[in-house]
Amino acid sequence: MQNPEDAVVAAQVGRDVAFGPENLGLGRDETWSRVDAALDAVGLDVAREHLTVALSGGEKQRLALAGQVALRPDVLLLDEPTSMLDAASAARVRDAVLSVAAGRTLVVVEHRLEPWLPHVDRVVVLGPGAVVVQDTDVAGFLAGPAPGGVWFPGLPDPEPVDVPEALVRPESSVEHALAEVSVVLRTRSLRGTQESRALDAVTLAARPGEVTALVGPSGSGKSTALGVLGGLVRPTSGTVTPDLGRARSRDLARVVGWVPQNPEHGFVTTRVADEVARTSERVGRTVDVDAVLDVLGLAHLREANPYRLSGGEQRRLALAAALAHRPGTVLLDEPTVGQDRATWAAVAGWVRAAAATGATTVLSTHDDLAPRDVEVRLERGRVVA
């Protein structure tokens, strides 16, 4: 499924992957040998007992794939299976999928389709209104012309759109800094306790007017670092400036806009337009809801329920909802996931405009094209560059 969280069925990693083989009635030895082989194939290097709630976004994505790989199914249907993975992990996952799919039927839904093209026989392009606009072999697809919005190989990088200053300019903004910050994340459940050193003596600064990008492999601590900057994750040691950890929620919302890696985690209303207006109402700012929706390509969904949107639409709505009140600090967890060329340009444009008008802007990303002025590379919770 597009959202890997929707595929988690068990509290522990091993049991989660074993669910399919067990339901096929396979024996214990066969089941567990398939579990171990599948986890290895997708590169998820954790113990069978590891708690599934204590995984990062990209780790959950690989867990979901391991569950399917272990089934060795006749038909494999994958919805953006590598959207939250770095290039190396994505290549590994692709190899795992392709070895399982050999001689079988594989259908992949994908925006960034270039790495898949050498391995597929046929390309089907869907257009607005869910109509098939092209159904061809790869050579026919590559012969062009490029269908609108598609990440067609060889096109120049899309230009971020111009977003009106009035929609993004914050009243004020401040520098954020972490000094020697360590975070031990601890999750307790009936099945045990999971501890990870998610950040290890991290020192970094994010300045007003700049886009700071946090990059690094899945599980390296990017989401945790964003959470600490925004006062959402308490550091185990070290200094955070400004320290927002004890701010009242309304005061925090006024200054920080945060888009979680799982966009629907932030939804609090049942109508798209209400979702965009909610924070502004609570912190006493005016917002032009229709202008915001228009820039992000969501105007036609104004009356829809946020939970009924597609994955890419939900991510853009989460961005609108977090940023419509023009906070001085903008924290975005993988904002470009699930976007076509056109919607990518809108998201990138919003990020650029926020920084250009003075916001302190930090994003985590695996997308090489995502905007940035400064790049901070994390590995195993440490800043390596």
Measuring CA to CA, which residue among 7, 123, 119 is closest to residue 71? 7
Measuring CA to CA, which residue among 282, 226, 284, 230 is closest to residue 252? 230
> Active-site residue numbers?
334
Residue 227 binds Mg ion (CB under 5 A): no
Contact (Cβ atoms closer than 8 angstroms) between residue 379 and residue 215: no
311-323 helix and 341-356 helix, angle to the nearest 10 degrees? 20
Among 4, 14, 43, 57, binds Mg ion (CB under 5 A): 57
Part in contact with Mg ion (CB under 5 A); list of ranges 148-156, 181-189, 254-262, 270-278: 254-262
Task: Supply φ then ψ for residue 329, to 5 degrees.
Answer: -120, 125
In terms of CB distance, is 196 or 361 closer to ligand ATP?
Answer: 196
Residue 52 binds ligand ATP (CB under 6 A): no
Annotate each residue in 213-252 with x if it binds ligand ATP (CB under 6 A) or - if it does not, as one string: ---x-xxxxxxx----------------------------
Torsion of CA 237, 242, 244, 248, to 10 degrees: 150
Cβ at position 222, least distance to Mg ion in Å: 5
Residue 43 binds ligand ATP (CB under 6 A): no
Residue 185 binds ligand ATP (CB under 6 A): yes
Measuring CA to CA, which residue among 248, 211, 203 is closest to residue 228? 203
Give dist(CA 194, CA 381) in Å, integer: 16
Give dist(CA 227, CA 224) in Å, integer: 5
Residue 339 binds ligand ATP (CB under 6 A): no
Which entry of ligand ATP, Mg ion, none binds 59, CB below 5 to 8 A by partner kind?
Answer: ligand ATP
Determine the residue with CB nearest Mg ion: 223
Residue 223 binds Mg ion (CB under 5 A): yes
- Which chain residues interact with ligand ATP by CB under 6 A? 54-59, 84, 185, 187, 194, 196, 198, 216, 218-224, 261, 364
